[in-house]
Amino acid sequence: MFSGNNCGQMKMSSKFVIRLGVWSVLMLYLFCDLILFEGPLKQQVYRLQGSPAKKLGNDIERGIVARVFTKPILLSQVDYAVDEQLWRSGRTREEISNSQRTALRRIALAELCDHALLREKVALNDKEFPVSEEEINAAMQRFASRFSTPEELQKAMLQFGFEGEKELRFRIAARLQQQKYLNHHIARGIAVTDEEAKAWYKDHQEQLQTPQLYQLRHIFLSKLQHNEDEAVQALREAQEFLQSGTNDFNSLSLKLSEDPRSKDHGGSLGWMSLQRLPADFAQAVEKLKVNQTSLIETTIGWHLVELTDTQASTLRSFDESKAEIVAALETSRRKAAVKEYRKNLRLQHPEKIVIHEALLSADWTE
């Protein structure tokens, strides 16, 4: 016969098996409904939150090209960043092809996504990286100075999706916090020691050489005003006059030269390195001796040039160059460290970045 304890254990065991079975059936149903077949429960979720296709359609309709941690990035923000890059390189929208536009948008969008990821990281540590009102005011002033009128500033804010100055201040404060956050995390990797600076100085002395300088003056006749025979004859006569022993370059320059910047100053071009001169001009100057003249033809005209003095190339000392070397090395290391840190952030949170590729090839936003 079974004891009372055995009966109780069997009942408990039966209840456990029943519960486990019910739980398994429920989990299977939820898996099928939500994952495999998009059943009634999944449809209810869609009704409450919107289906992925509907969400995508809504984003594209609103000009949202990406979401980072569900936060939207507008195509107009991307195009504003592209316009800035074009402006810096001296180009306009009309000068680039559709494929170039898409490529530039990808670069700008990657930058904006990185900043959005950083914002999320900084938000978790905002107390550690405070930003003062003075810092925000200074950054606001720098931002506003890029626009010639308040209306242009307002237009730019609308393109970025900012509702007013308050939101702009918030965004600028967030960007300053990001910079502080990044500097904190990469500081160790960018510091430059004296030994490293000295080693760089030793290995790059050619770059620290001041070039040889030439002090020049000239008499210029333009190709727009003279034919070759006329110009060459006039300058040959002036050269012969100077070679006869009459050192009256100032008077000849004032009388003959068609260079308005130098003719009233004795034809002086000042101190120049060969790197600052047009190639055809530099080749002739390099062959001159001090107080020697030469007739040089360039693409714009003819020059009677005299070399009046030279300064030899010199090597700057380490002490003179140290600050520049340290700054250059730190800048290079900072760029590499920031790039690596951002790369790691993207690798950590790939599922938090959603990009709507279709918008990257769309027409320009206004």
The pLDDT of residue 45 is 47
The pLDDT of residue 50 is 45
The pLDDT of residue 307 is 94
Residue 75: phi and psi, rounded to 5, are -60, -35
The pLDDT of residue 6 is 54
Residue range 95-124, pLDDT digits in tens: 999 999 999 999 999 989 988 888 888 887
Query: Among 121-135, 211-225, 265-279, whose mean pLDDT is lowest?
Result: 121-135
Residue range 305-322, pLDDT digits in tens: 999 999 988 888 899 889
Provide the whole-model pTM. Answer: 0.45
CB atoms within 10 A of CB 303: 26
What percent of the chain is predicted at pLDDT more than 90? 26
Average pLDDT over residues 240-267: 88
The pLDDT of residue 32 is 61
Extract the tokens encoding 26.
């429920």
Extract the tokens encoding 337.
């460290």
The pLDDT of residue 315 is 86
Judged by DSSP in three states, 126 sits in: helix
Query: With bands split at pLDDT 50, 70 and 90, how would you rate the model's confidence at 46?
Result: very low
pLDDT score of 58 more than 90: no
Average pLDDT over residues 26-44: 58
The pLDDT of residue 23 is 72
Average pLDDT over residues 338-345: 85
Q: Is 136 in contact with 172 (CB distance < 8 Å)? A: yes
pLDDT score of 40 more than 70: no
pLDDT score of 48 more than 50: no
The pLDDT of residue 2 is 46
Query: With bands split at pLDDT 50, 70 and 90, how would you rate the model's confidence at 49?
Result: very low
The pLDDT of residue 125 is 75
Mean pLDDT value across the chain: 83
Q: Is 329 in contact with 196 (CB distance < 8 Å)? A: yes
The pLDDT of residue 105 is 93
Query: Among 108-112, 151-155, 235-239, whose mean pLDDT is lowest?
Result: 151-155
Average pLDDT over residues 145-168: 78
CB atoms within 10 A of CB 23: 10
Average pLDDT over residues 82-86: 89
The pLDDT of residue 59 is 82
pLDDT score of 335 more than 70: yes
pLDDT score of 26 more than 80: no
Which strand (E) or helix (H) includes residue 277?
A: none
Residue range 160-211, pLDDT digits in tens: 667 778 888 888 888 888 888 888 888 877 888 999 999 999 988 888 888 8
Q: What span, in angstroms and rounded, lies between the C-alpha atoms of 334 and 191?
A: 9
Instruction: Kindly list the strands in the beta sheet with 64-68, ordered across the sheet, starting from the edge strand earlier in the chain.
Output: 71-74, 64-68, 353-355
pLDDT score of 260 more than 50: yes
* Highest-scoring range by mean pLDDT, 31-35, 188-192, 355-359: 355-359
Residue 8: phi and psi, rounded to 5, are -65, -40
The pLDDT of residue 341 is 85
